[in-house]
């Protein structure tokens, strides 16, 4: 049930061209609300998760994505309690990828994006040495097919980009681009559909695979992972870098491709191309906001074209998805595609809610920055 806070915030919006217009402060208020809900519920950050009858360490990928969002929130709202929460978690895991320095699983490496972020603040080597050892070991295998599913691009590729910038060693970005190109062009015949500007989740979803209604299967959150990864890697590079230019081309193709599939209410369905059954979903939507807001701020996307798209999406997230206590509705649970963890509803809690909050924080904080700059 929606209560006074959300109702009041919505009532402050001014209706423009059929969607709600808001301010940076209102975005920050709602972002804090969602994050506070999560931190209160998970007030022991080092505690293991227990989902589907299995205990997992809190350094798993779902929590890693949450911390990506929390670091982004800290950058616009620098509260010491966020740092304390991060450090308590990371110290418990000894600033090491899940499953140790020998892992080659991108999901295990996601947490390192936060470790590197903290290292840049403190210059404490213990925060970065384990991930350097981990990726150096992986690179020695000389394999190029580790990222066979597109989620992996978000989980791991920014780690390599961040290490390249932090250490000044180009080898990390060279390796990341080899992995990326394999996923894009080779795996399953190429997981990126250049004509659509959208990605197949993995080789199992490449045509002739179809959704149950006969449509192509392009997963919202899977595409969101890649879109966010492109942004997070380009953030680490000069626009003059050839790799930046290469990733920028795909970012622009995706940006154009995503426009076609936005719902009338401003969100995107869990299945982008199939509009019949999967329904609206906000983890993918939030990642699209994240990328588009960043693209506008950095001159890659035209505000006149993309700003209304973002405004409309944010308005509907707040109106239809954010509960009064900060719980986020319409977050799809884990899986490999749109059909998993269905149905997605306003009241249903996903199996893991940490990555949904992380995606939301990423989109919200970048939208906040856009509103602060673009009055």
Euclidean distance between the first and the last CA atom of the chain, given in angstroms as a whole number: 33
Please say whether the beta carbons of 272 and 215 come within 8 A. no
**And the tokens for 360?**
């939301």
Strand partners, 281: 268
Please say whether the beta carbons of 296 and 308 come within 8 A. no
- Alpha-carbon distance of 353 to 343, in angstroms, equals 15
Please say whether the beta carbons of 85 and 75 come within 8 A. no
- Alpha-carbon distance of 228 to 251, in angstroms, equals 9
Burial (Cβ within 10 Å: 0-12, 13-18, ≥19) of residue 170 = exposed
- Alpha-carbon distance of 209 to 358, in angstroms, equals 30
Cα angle vertex 292, ends 10, 279, to 5°?
A: 65
Please say whether the beta carbons of 219 and 272 come within 8 A. yes
What's the residue count for the chain?
A: 375
Per-residue pLDDT tens for 328-342?
A: 999 999 999 999 999
- Alpha-carbon distance of 177 to 310, in angstroms, equals 29
Tens-binned pLDDT, residue by residue, of the chain (375 aa): 444 445 445 444 433 334 457 899 999 999 999 999 999 999 999 999 999 999 999 999 999 999 999 999 999 999 999 999 999 999 999 999 999 999 999 999 999 999 999 999 999 999 999 999 999 999 999 999 999 999 999 999 999 999 999 999 999 999 999 999 999 999 999 999 999 999 999 999 999 999 988 999 999 999 999 999 999 999 999 999 999 999 999 999 999 999 999 999 999 999 999 877 789 999 999 999 999 999 999 999 999 999 999 999 999 999 999 999 999 999 999 999 999 999 999 999 999 999 999 999 999 999 999 999 865
CA 159 to each of CA 114, 124, 310, 360: distance values in angstroms, whole numbers, following the listed order: 9, 17, 27, 20
Helix (H, G, I), strand (E, B) or coil at 193: strand
- Alpha-carbon distance of 1 to 20, in angstroms, equals 21
- Alpha-carbon distance of 129 to 125, in angstroms, equals 6
- Alpha-carbon distance of 331 to 353, in angstroms, equals 8
- Alpha-carbon distance of 256 to 235, in angstroms, equals 20
Please say whether the beta carbons of 139 and 171 come within 8 A. yes
């Amino acid at each position: 049930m929606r209560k006074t806070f959300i109702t009041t915030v919505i009532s402050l919006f001014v209706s423009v061209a059929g969607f709600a217009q808001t301010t940076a402060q209102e975005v920050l208020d709602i972002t804090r609300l969602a994050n506070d809900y999560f931190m209160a519920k998970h007030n022991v950050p080092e505690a293991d998760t227990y989902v589907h009858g299995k205990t997992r360490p809190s350094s798993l990928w779902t929590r890693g994505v949450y911390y990506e969002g929390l670091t982004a929130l800290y950058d616009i709202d620098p509260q010491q309690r966020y740092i304390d929460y991060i450090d308590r978690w990371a110290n418990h895991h000894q600033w090491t990828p899940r499953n140790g320095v020998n892992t080659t699983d991108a999901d295990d490496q996601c947490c390192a994006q936060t470790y590197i972020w903290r290292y840049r603040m403190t210059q404490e080597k213990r925060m970065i040495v384990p991930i350097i050892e981990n990726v150096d070991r992986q690179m020695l295998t000389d394999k190029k097919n580790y990222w066979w599913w597109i989620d992996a691009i978000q989980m791991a590729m920014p780690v390599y980009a961040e290490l390249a910038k932090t250490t000044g060693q180009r080898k990390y970005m060279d390796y990341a681009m080899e992995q990326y190109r394999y996923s894009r062009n080779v795996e399953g015949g190429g997981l990126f559909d250049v004509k659509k500007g959208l990605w197949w989740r993995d080789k199992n979803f490449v045509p002739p695979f179809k959704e149950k209604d006969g449509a192509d299967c392009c997963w919202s959150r899977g595409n969101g992972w890649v879109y966010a990864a492109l942004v997070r890697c380009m953030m680490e590079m000069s626009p003059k870098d050839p790799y930046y230019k290469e990733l920028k081309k795909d970012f622009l193709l995706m940006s154009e491709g995503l426009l076609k599939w936005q719902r009338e209410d401003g969100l995107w369905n869990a299945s982008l191309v199939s509009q019949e059954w999967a329904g609206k979903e906000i983890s993918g939507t939030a990642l699209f906001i994240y990328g588009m807001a960043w693209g506008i701020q950095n001159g890659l996307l035209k505000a006149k074209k993309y700003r209304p798209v973002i405004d409309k999406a944010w308005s509907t997230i707040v109106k239809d998805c954010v509960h009064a206590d900060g719980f986020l509705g319409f977050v799809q649970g884990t899986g490999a595609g749109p059909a998993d963890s269905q149905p997605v509803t306003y009241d249903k809690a996903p199996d893991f809610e940490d990555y949904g909050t992380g995606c939301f924080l990423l989109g919200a904080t970048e939208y906040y920055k856009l509103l602060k700059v673009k009055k």
